[in-house]
């Protein structure tokens, strides 16, 4: 994933990234290392509990990792320093068998989907 920058950030966003990594824990630790004290890490990954994953002939990008709310929580619980807050909610892209879109035109449209959809939204806050 490249060299670690000398800088930390108040907000690190990895949307549609974590599920493509080879090692879930080491890639999450690397992303966490970019977050400044008091900052946030936001992840958006496919929700393996969604009905989309029940369809045999689906064609999706080469995902190497698959997450449920419980499995994502297990990885997050191993972060050091331990997060002071973690929120993992289903949401994001609404998916139906006839839909063929993979992104939103704005954050407002993303948020409007509420707690339905084929993604997991993960927000983690680092202690100061």
Q: What is the pLDDT of residue 100?
A: 44
pLDDT tens series, the chain, 128 aa: 454 667 899 999 888 788 878 888 999 999 999 999 999 999 888 876 655 555 555 555 576 677 888 889 999 999 999 999 998 887 765 444 444 444 444 455 555 555 556 778 889 999 99
Q: What is the pLDDT of residue 103?
A: 45
User: Looking at the domain assignment, is residue 47 inside a domain?
Assistant: yes
DSSP letter, residue 17? -
Contact by Cβ (8 Å): 8, 36: yes
User: Looking at the domain assignment, is residue 4 inside a domain?
Assistant: no
- Give the count of domains, the chain: 1
The CATH number of the domain holding residue 101 is 3.40.50.150
Q: What is the largest CA-CA distance in the chain?
A: 46
Region label for 53, one of left (φ > 0), alpha (ψ between -120 and 50) or beta (otherwise): alpha
Question: Residue 16 and residue 102: Cα distance in Å, rounded?
Answer: 10
Sign of CA dihedral 113, 115, 116, 122: positive
Question: Residue 64 and residue 88: Cα distance in Å, rounded?
Answer: 20
User: Looking at the domain assignment, is residue 113 inside a domain?
Assistant: yes
Q: What is the pLDDT of residue 45?
A: 84
**pTM for the complete prediction?**
0.72
Question: Residue 113 and residue 92: Cα distance in Å, rounded?
Answer: 6
């Amino acid at each position: 994933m490249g060299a670690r920058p000398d800088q930390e950030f108040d907000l690190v966003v990895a949307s549609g990234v974590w599920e493509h990594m080879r090692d879930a824990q080491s890639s999450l630790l690397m992303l966490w290392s970019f977050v400044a004290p008091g900052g946030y890490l936001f992840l958006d990954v496919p929700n393996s509990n969604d009905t989309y994953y029940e369809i045999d002939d689906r064609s999706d990008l080469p995902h190497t990792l698959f997450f449920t709310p419980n499995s994502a929580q297990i990885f997050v619980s191993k972060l050091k320093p331990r997060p002071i807050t973690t929120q993992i909610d289903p949401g994001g892209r609404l998916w139906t068998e006839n839909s063929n879109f993979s992104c939103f035109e704005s954050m407002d449209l993303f948020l409007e989907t509420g707690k339905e959809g084929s993604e997991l939204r993960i927000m983690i806050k680092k202690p100061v």
